[in-house]
């Protein structure tokens, strides 16, 4: 199957980056859809900012940057976004009900041959696939933030995902300059989040129990484990609410108490201390 046009559903933190990578590296025509004009405007602004930085570094010319933007087509209409798409990447909020409702409509509007990928970081691909009415053509395609820079893509096979769908997603990932890994079974958290969620949660427990400050926990991991960024600063980038959602999904789906989130995480979400996006989490981002 030859892919010429990609629909990216969601223009937010992940969606705009995925759309940029598809247009810039994959050279696909990209329909980028969101539910409000302000979200589309914000997504395009972030793409413009990213491209400008790439141009300043000499990686891309001004003319090439304009061509990338010309390949991205913002729209508010789902039908318009997917009706001519060969490949759909869903990148909306990590909410099972929202994702299933959206992909149910994608299943109705997209051509019968269209393959659908979800950028979910924790929700069951089997469950998402069932909602589309074409589960053999649904696969997980989990990018990492920021999609423009991070090389990894987790390809996640649902219970009914076909070999052909997995191979197509692998080929597209490589064309986008990514280095994919295959998650052979549909398991909560896939590979990275299954490992990382416990490490991040333990870092929160260290702070909650008064054992160390966020700064010292992060310094210990950066200098002692050679992490490029400490776990608590990383949580501020990911979003405290997103991490809490992932850990709660892990507990619910596995029944394993080792994934149980710290009460401090819950308190921070209640206080809207969600990290960079609200200006404060474990760190103060309000002046940055």
Point out the residues that are catalytic: 121, 142, 154, 193
DSSP 25-94: TS--EEEEE-SSHHHHHHHHHHHHHHHHHHHHTTSS-HHHHHHHHHTEEEES-HHHHHTT-SEEEE---S
Strands 29-33 and 5-9: parallel
Contact call for residues 81 and 10 (beta carbons, < 8 A): no
Cα 16 to Cα 157: distance, rounded to the nearest angstrom: 24
Cα 211 to Cα 199: distance, rounded to the nearest angstrom: 16
Local structure of residue 258 (DSSP, 8 states): G
Residue 181 CB-density burial (10 A; 0-12 exposed, 13-18 middle, 19+ buried): middle
Axis crossing angle, helix 192-208 with helix 231-238, rounded to the nearest 10 = 110
Q: Could you give phi then psi for residue 230, rounded to 5 degrees?
A: -65, 160
Strands 29-33 and 115-118: unpaired
């Amino acid at each position: 199957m030859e892919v010429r046009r990609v629909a990216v559903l969601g223009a937010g933190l992940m969606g705009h980056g995925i759309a940029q990578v598809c247009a810039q590296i994959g050279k696909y025509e990209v329909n980028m859809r969101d539910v409000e004009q302000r979200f589309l405007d914000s997504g395009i602004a972030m793409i413009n900012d990213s491209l400008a930085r790439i141009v300043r570094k000499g990686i891309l010319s001004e003319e090439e940057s304009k061509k990338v933007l010309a390949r991205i087509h913002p729209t508010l209409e789902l039908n318009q976004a997917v009706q001519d798409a060969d490949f759909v990447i869903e990148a909306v909020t990590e909410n099972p009900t929202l994702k299933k409702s959206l992909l149910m409509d994608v299943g109705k509007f997209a051509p019968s041959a269209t393959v659908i990928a979800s950028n979910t970081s924790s929700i069951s691909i089997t469950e998402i696939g069932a909602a589309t009415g074409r589960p053999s053509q649904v696969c997980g395609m989990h990018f990492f933030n920021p999609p423009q820079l991070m090389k990894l893509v987790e390809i996640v096979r649902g219970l009914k995902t076909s070999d052909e769908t997995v191979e197509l997603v692998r080929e597209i990932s490589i064309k986008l300059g990514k280095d994919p890994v295959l998650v052979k079974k549909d398991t909560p958290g896939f590979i990275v989040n299954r490992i990382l969620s416990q490490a991040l949660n333990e870092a929160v427990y260290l702070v909650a129990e008064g054992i160390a400050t966020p700064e010292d926990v992060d310094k210990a991991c950066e200098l002692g484990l050679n992490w490029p960024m400490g776990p608590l600063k990383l949580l501020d980038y990911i979003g405290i609410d997103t991490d809490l959602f992932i850990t709660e999904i892990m507990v619910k789906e596995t029944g394993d108490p080792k994934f149980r989130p710290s009460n401090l995480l819950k308190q921070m979400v209640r206080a809207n201390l969600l990290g960079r996006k609200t200006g404060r989490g474990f760190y103060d981002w309000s002046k940055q």
